[in-house]
């Protein structure tokens, strides 16, 4: 197809079908609708009735069921470390989100075009699973983009020229670190130190230090409300209820911000070392650009109190938290839709051949 034909198609297609961007995350899935912005932000959780095999609830309703369901109802997270672990459940979740998105606008003749963000470093088999699940959920065309590139687009970081930039996307299952230049990834690293790992650290610490067992939602609430990585002048604390591991009875204890720092200390130390590792293999010219332009944090983990200060002190590089870091990736999919043909080199289309990779 000629470039002229593509331009005509891009002008006509919005009237015939919707353009939808999806940030398919381990913890939350966000959906962008062209012309409307970010319209859905729901937990990546699906509640299933194991007796009947039917979906009980998806998103916010399903998350409320975590740790609170009878034995025959299971709340499932169908994505692990940013990739599909349960194909059928992921397909059901995507179908629900796409239908919910389509219902917010007037019905179009054709099915939607969908851009989906995925972590760097996933295999071609895992990419194919994302494409197939999205296609089966009702998409007419599916494009795959690496999340750091989408995030850079979402925060309007100029990466189209021969200048280096660095994005750290701290999600639920993984943290994606990428050095970008010329609309591509120069160096990247994907580590399993992110929001879920921090929650597990808090659960383990409270179990070991206070002999109390708490759930995932409680740990997440602690991380958000009093979590920090640098000690301050004021003391933060929160009452937490759980099960006493000695008596088996309910018990309440007071957890402080100091406890959360101690709980996260090992993972944060490994996180810092991973950033150092990627900078050590970055070409010197690009490293010079990064020292001048700084490193940008996106994703929910970017909101951990004082993380930017800790990184800046450790790396001696300016650190910036993107505006609305939670939605950076999905906003980037919207930017890609504006000039889809200009980004052919960084998008994988569902018609592209993906050789199998074990």
Under 8 Å between Cβ of 173 and 26: yes
Q: Rounded to two decimals, what is the model's pTM?
A: 0.89
Close Cβ partners of 329 (under 8 Å, ≥ 6 residues apart): 23, 30, 117, 147, 150, 151, 154, 169, 298, 299
pLDDT in tens, 346-356: 788 765 544 43
Same domain? 131 vs 278: no
In this prediction, residue 247 carries a pLDDT of 95
Residue reference for tokens 């990546």: 44
In a domain, 65, yes or no: no
Q: What is the pLDDT of residue 350?
A: 63
CB atoms within 10 A of CB 5: 9
Same domain, 112 and 258: no
Q: Is residue 64 part of a domain?
A: no
In this prediction, residues 186-197 reach a mean pLDDT of 94
pLDDT at residue number 66: 79
- Which of 70, 139, 143 shows the shortest CA–CA distance to 102? 139
Which of 263, 283, 312 delimits the end of a domain? Answer: 263
Residue-wise pLDDT for 107-165, tens only, equals 777 889 999 999 888 888 988 999 999 999 989 999 999 999 999 999 999 888 888 99
Range of the domain at 102: 3-46+78-150+328-349
Could you read off the pLDDT of 53-83 as tens digits, one per residue? 889 999 999 988 877 888 889 988 899 877 8
Q: Both 283 and 142 in a single domain? A: no
| Number of domains observed in the structure of the chain | 3
Question: In CATH, what number is assigned to the domain containing residue 237?
Answer: 3.90.640.10
**101 and 187 both lie in a single domain:** no
Annotate 211-241 with b (16+ C-beta within 10 A) or e (fewer): ebebebebbbbbbeebbbbeeeeeebebebe
pLDDT in tens, 298-344: 999 999 999 999 999 999 999 999 999 999 999 999 999 887 777 77
Q: Which residue has the higher pLDDT, 120 or 1?
A: 120
> Does residue 86 sit in the same domain as residue 141?
yes
Question: Quick one: 41 and 135 in the same domain?
Answer: yes
Whole-angstrom distance, CA of residue 304 vs CA of residue 26: 18
Residue 33 corresponds to which tokens in the numbers above? 């609708």
CA distance 240 to 255: 7
Give the CATH number of the domain where residue 177 resides.
3.30.420.40
- 275-298, pLDDT tens digit by residue? 999 999 999 999 999 999 999 999
């Amino acid at each position: 197809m000629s470039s002229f034909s593509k331009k005509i198609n891009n002008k006509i297609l919005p009237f015939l079908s919707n353009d939808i961007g999806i940030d398919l995350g381990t913890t939350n899935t966000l959906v962008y609708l062209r012309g409307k912005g970010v319209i859905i932000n729901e937990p990546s959780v699906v509640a299933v009735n194991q007796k009947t095999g039917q979906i009980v609830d998806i998103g916010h309703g399903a998350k409320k069921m975590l740790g609170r369901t009878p034995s025959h109802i299971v709340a499932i997270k169908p994505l692990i470390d940013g990739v599909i672990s349960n194909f059928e459940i992921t397909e059901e979740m995507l179908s629900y989100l796409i239908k919910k998105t389509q219902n917010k606008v007037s019905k179009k003749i054709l099915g939607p075009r969908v851009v989906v963000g995925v972590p760097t470093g996933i295999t071609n088999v895992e990419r194919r699973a994302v494409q197939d699940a999205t296609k089966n959920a009702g998409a007419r065309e599916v494009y795959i983009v690496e999340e750091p590139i989408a995030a850079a687009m979402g925060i309007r970081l100029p990466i189209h020229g021969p200048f280096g930039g660095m994005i750290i996307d701290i999600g639920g299952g993984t943290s994606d670190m990428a050095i970008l230049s010329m609309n591509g990834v120069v160096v990247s690293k994907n580590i399993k130190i992110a929001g879920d790992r921090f929650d597990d650290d808090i659960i383990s610490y409270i179990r070991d230090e206070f002999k109390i067992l708490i759930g995932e939602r409680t740990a997440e609430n602690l991380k958000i409300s009093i979590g920090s990585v640098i000690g301050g002048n004021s003391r933060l604390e929160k009452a937490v209820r759980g099960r006493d591991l000695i008596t088996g009875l309910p018990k309440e204890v007071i957890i402080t911000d100091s406890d959360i720092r101690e709980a996260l200390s090992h993972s944060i130390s490994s996180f810092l070392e991973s950033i150092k590792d990627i900078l050590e293999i970055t070409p010197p010219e690009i490293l010079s650009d990064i020292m001048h332009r700084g490193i940008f944090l996106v994703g929910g983990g970017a909101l951990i109190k004082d993380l930017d200060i800790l990184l800046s002190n450790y790396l001696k590089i300016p650190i910036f938290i993107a505006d609305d870091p939670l939605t950076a990736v999905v906003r980037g999919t919207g930017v890609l839709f504006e000039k889809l043909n200009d980004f052919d080199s960084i998008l994988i289309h569902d018609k592209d051949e993906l050789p199998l990779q074990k």
